[in-house]
């Protein structure tokens, strides 16, 4: 599922605004885009992600980034990037974390091209998962986010959330969820991480279900027998995580 095919049909456009990108920087951005295109092709059983057009605006100066359509939004400002759904464009500031920001925002762009109104936990969970990939020496590899995993274990012990309840927070009421923003992203990431580590096909199963109008809870109940079945598997998974 994570095999990267080199396709050239992809029509990514990188727009630089007072920003220098070396030939390697540009090659890395294309590499990230191709990697995610092949992931979303596999998940949605399609080839269309190889030929979608996405504009990526890369800013060298914070002041210019702030003047973009939603650049004043404190969340976007904090993340040094965002995906603008209504135009399908990506805006990122070139910092030392630019590759993480790109991995995160490009995931949003692809998911929204394949699935209308994805649930927020799925959208941010996948984007946060991608954002944690490491790009080094023209290679992309995975490493677990120890801080998020430790935090989720702590929240499970403290009974600070119930996994299947968390899935009910959709785009409309995500902000009503009482967790802090960071914890919401952490829980969303943890559900994706649990799925990837348990069986990569779970992501595909979830994507299929959501596309067919099922809720995430229905999909998990189908896979794990019941909501409780999902809660137990998820909880056990994190109780067994020992990261040093």
H or E segment at 64? Answer: helix 62-66
75: phi then psi, degrees, rounded to nearest 5? -60, -45
For β-strands 81-84 and 11-17, DSSP reports them as unpaired
CB closer to Zn ion, 77 vs 237: 77
Provide the minimum distance between the beta carbon of 54 and Zn ion in the complex, in angstroms, as a whole number.
15
Q: What is the DSSP letter of 225?
A: S
Per-position x/- string for 1-30, each x denoting binding to Zn ion as judged by CB under 5 A, each - no binding: ------------------------------
Return d(Cα 129, Cα 140) in angstroms, integer: 13
Provide the minimum distance between the beta carbon of 195 and Zn ion in the complex, in angstroms, as a whole number.
18
CB closer to Zn ion, 54 vs 127: 127
Q: Which residue has the tokens 């920087």?
A: 25
CB closer to Zn ion, 78 vs 240: 78
Provide the minimum distance between the beta carbon of 15 and Zn ion in the complex, in angstroms, as a whole number.
20
H helical segments located in 68-160: 74-79, 98-114, 120-131, 146-157
> Contact, 62 vs 18, CB < 8 A?
no
Provide the minimum distance between the beta carbon of 216 and Zn ion in the complex, in angstroms, as a whole number.
17
Q: Which parts of 18-129 are beta strand (E)?
A: 53-59, 81-84, 89-93
Please work out the total of residues on this chain that contact Zn ion, with binding judged by CB under 5 A. Answer: 2
Provide the minimum distance between the beta carbon of 185 and Zn ion in the complex, in angstroms, as a whole number.
8
Q: Nearest residue by C-beta to Zn ion? A: 127
Provide the minimum distance between the beta carbon of 197 and Zn ion in the complex, in angstroms, as a whole number.
21
Q: Which of residues 105-124 bind Zn ion (CB under 5 A)?
A: 124
80: phi then psi, degrees, rounded to nearest 5? 60, 30
Per-position x/- string for 136-175, each x denoting binding to Zn ion as judged by CB under 5 A, each - no binding: ----------------------------------------
Binder among 37, 84, 127, 188 for Zn ion (CB under 5 A):
127
Nearest to 187 by CA among 235, 148, 158, 215: 148
CB closer to Zn ion, 50 vs 124: 124
Q: What is the DSSP letter of 172?
A: T
CB closer to Zn ion, 127 vs 187: 127
Beta-bridge mates of residue 93: 59
Q: Which residues bind Zn ion (CB under 5 A)?
A: 124, 127
């Amino acid at each position: 599922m994570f095999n990267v095919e080199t396709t050239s049909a992809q029509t990514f456009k990188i727009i630089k605004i007072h920003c220098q990108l070396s030939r390697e920087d540009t090659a890395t951005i294309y590499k990230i885009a191709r990697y995610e295109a092949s992931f979303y092709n596999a998940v949605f059983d399609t080839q269309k992600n190889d030929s979608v057009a996405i504009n990526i605006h890369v800013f060298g100066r914070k002041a210019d980034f702030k003047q973009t359509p939603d650049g004043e939004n404190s969340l976007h400002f904090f993340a040094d990037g965002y995906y603008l759904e209504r135009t399908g464009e990506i805006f990122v500031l070139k910092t030392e974390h630019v590759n993480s920001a790109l991995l995160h925002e490009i995931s949003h762009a692809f998911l929204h091209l394949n699935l209308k109104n994805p649930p927020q936990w799925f959208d941010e969970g996948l984007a946060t998962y991608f954002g944690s990939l490491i790009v080094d020496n023209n290679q992309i590899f995975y490493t677990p986010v120890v801080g998020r995993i430790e935090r989720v274990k702590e929240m499970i012990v403290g009974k600070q959330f119930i996994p299947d309840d968390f899935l009910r927070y959709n785009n409309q009421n995500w902000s009503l969820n009482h967790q802090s923003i960071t914890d919401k992203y952490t829980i969303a990431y943890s559900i994706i991480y649990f799925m990837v580590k348990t069986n990569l096909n779970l992501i595909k199963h979830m994507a299929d279900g959501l596309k067919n109008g099922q809720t995430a809870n229905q999909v998990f109940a189908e896979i794990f027998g019941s909501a409780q079945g999902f809660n137990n598997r998820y909880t056990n998974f994190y109780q067994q995580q020992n990261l040093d």
